[in-house]
Structure 1
């Protein structure tokens, strides 16, 4: 670890158990749970105590997927978990005897209760790469190597209806993510572009803008916590920041030379002030193939070209070299829960999930 920065990434938990590479992690938004998925086709569930940050494995979901589980996503209620698999299917999981949001914040409801597959969503022709719930929880998005993005409407009793099959990309779609407060969907692809979609009340879901500029595959996307900006990470080693300048128009306002090689994952969280009175747009975590995690404090200042507009600022506040030794980091993910915004989880090719705390150096 390099301590020439105002903060350090302090490891607080090393969670072993997957029998193959760990691809993705997801923090439950309301309960003290962390889920991880792997090429071993399982999902491992960890409980933690917020006051002490102690993590413990409480269950393993075999999933029944025939191939790698590539991504996981919690519903906003925290009651349902979606799994995206290379077998082209999406599983929807819940505890049959659990109630939405029933948690005291420290304990986990029915920690020994089994997770059941409530729905299996079929339709993609090949590997599913990403899955995400909308902020309302009424929609689920998925994407695949088959070049499509699907939007599913969530009905009672874990019933799902396909509302749109979006075929805008010309290559493998790597990632889908939702705006934090609106039903705006973004997707990233091997075709080097980002697509933005909305629902037309009179017709169907459609792409209202294509964001171009990256020189290679776009691997990961993250909206700012306030929804004003979108960050995109690419094989070209850069992170681009796109600002919403009109209701249906986004423009690139900053290019960050963030890593020497491919950036496989980014996550944009609220973060915590390192100094009293400090303000920012949050913290952006990025993981690069050269074997480093960077933590950036993101801010805005008046633009020199147009004082009526804002310009993005980025300050590298922490850097961790070889967080998983020689192994690639596949995912970085900030904890979204209030008071825990300084916790970061990572998943790696070594099959290990680690939890880190950002602390002043």
Structure 2
């Protein structure tokens, strides 16, 4: 499904976790909000033989007031607050003037309730923690900032992390723990945690990519982390031992022909699942392709012999692939809908300025990629 888009390159898309709203941002300095409805029930949607009918409509446009490109958007878990990261080095915090807990998406205009300053140059990504009590941002200034969220749109900087040596492209929080991952132009992924007796610090650096790491995405279980790179590979990382600091790359996936810009790992895709199912990972990038990968664990090796250690083997399969998702243009962002009843919806944003929404429902068994 195509939703009329922006006047310039669309950079990022984010689904509201509570309400039927999709947000996108652009080089035109605006955020566009779309409302969607479905004619099917969740039971119908989970059937491989049915295809739900969705309707998307432009809800509103937030001018933002940012003086440069809005590079990223992120919803708070409550669905009532939206954060914007801009190339003007600032982060905007947006709320509706009169929110309606009954679910009316037209309950009021969006206003900027706080402007977070501190980065020296372009902000590239912003993310809320699963509890909504922390916000992370990153920038071309090589830093990652951790902010504590207080009532009345008040934010306190808890730490400025200067571990990367180059532009930081993306930040992502662990789905249940206060562990933060960042990806950088310096080809690394770094992991951070709070030391109760001190400050936030980097406890692990994941190396192996041969070029810029554009995106990171946690598995819904929190047991794996995916990273995507300019080297055209996806790496899957897992904690290697009992120590938090020990991480290892357990899988390297190829399949894209150009840089991979964005990843999104779905929580609960509907439809048939393999035993040990770990969800679907969507990837996209400069080749204009969208690929959907399924992951699962097994306690036996490929030849069915029991493993000597207690750690299950990780397997994957390519279950769907689409070329020219935005015509001849790069695809900059991909995001699964986090709402369980619409978990097969996937949104993308591209250089053509458009936002496109896809319904993903493989109808035949996947084969190993």
**In 2, are the aligned partners of 1:303 and 1:309 still within 8 Å (CA)?**
no
Q: Could you tell me how far apart the structure 1 residues matched to 2:260 and 2:311 are? A: 28
Q: Is this contact kept in 1: 2:275–2:296, CA < 8 A?
A: no
* Match of residue 332, structure 1, among 325, 331, 334: 334
User: What stretches of structure 2 of length at least 5 have no aligned partner?
Assistant: 40-52, 302-306, 364-369
State the alpha-carbon separation in 2 of the partners of residues 50 and 128 from structure 1: 35
Distance in 1 (alpha carbons) for counterparts of 2:235 and 2:5: 35
Counterparts of 1:213 and 1:334, CA distance in 2: 27
- Aligned residue in 2 for 1:9: none
SS in 2 for 1:339: helix
Query: For 2:210 and 2:274, how far apart are their aligned partners in 1?
Result: 38
**Native 8 Å contact 2:174 2:180 kept in 1:** yes
- Cα deviation, 1:129-158, whole Å, max 9, x if unaligned, reads 000001110000000000000000001100
Out of 295, 298, 301, the position equivalent to 2:298 is: 301
Superposed displacement of residue 352, structure 1: 0.3
Alignment partner of 2:279 out of 279, 282, 297: 282
The CA RMSD measured in Å over matched residues stands at: 1.5
More off after superposition, 286-295 vs 320-329? 286-295
Answer 1 or 2: higher relative contact order, Cα 8 Å, separation at least 6. 1
For 1:324 and 1:276, the matched residues in 2 are separated by 29
Query: Is the Cα–Cα contact under 8 Å of residues 274 and 296 in structure 2 kept in the other structure?
Result: no
TM-score by length of 2: 0.90
Q: In structure 2, what is the equivalent of residue 152 of structure 1?
A: 147
Q: Is 2:210 aligned against 1:215?
A: yes
**Cα pair 1:265 1:286 within 8 Å, conserved:** yes
Asked if the contact 2:276/2:297 (under 8 Å) is kept, the reply is: no
Deviation at 1:300, TM superposition (A): 1.3
Corresponding residue number in structure 1 for 2:85: 84
The answer as to whether partners of 2:96 and 2:111 remain within 8 angstroms in 1 is yes
Q: Give 1:279 deviation, angstroms.
A: 5.0
State how far apart, in whole Å, the 2-side matches of 1:17 and 1:190 are: 29
SS of the residue aligned with 1:281? strand
Aligned to 1:169: 164
**Distance change >3 Å, CA 17–CA 260, structure 1 → 2:** closer
What are the equivalent positions in structure 2 for 1:68-147 lying under 5 Å apart?
A: 68-99=69-100, 102-104=101-103, 108-109=104-105, 111=106, 113-147=108-142
Distance 1:276 1:234, change over 3 A: closer
Structure 1 pair 203–357 and aligned structure 2 pair: CA distance change class (3 A): same
The answer (yes or no) to whether the contact 1:82–1:90 under 8 Å persists in 2 is yes
C-alpha contact (below 8 Å) 1:286/1:295 kept by paired residues: yes
Count of residue pairs brought into register by the alignment? 343
Runs of 4+ that moved beyond 6 A: none
Paired position in structure 1 for 2:37? 49
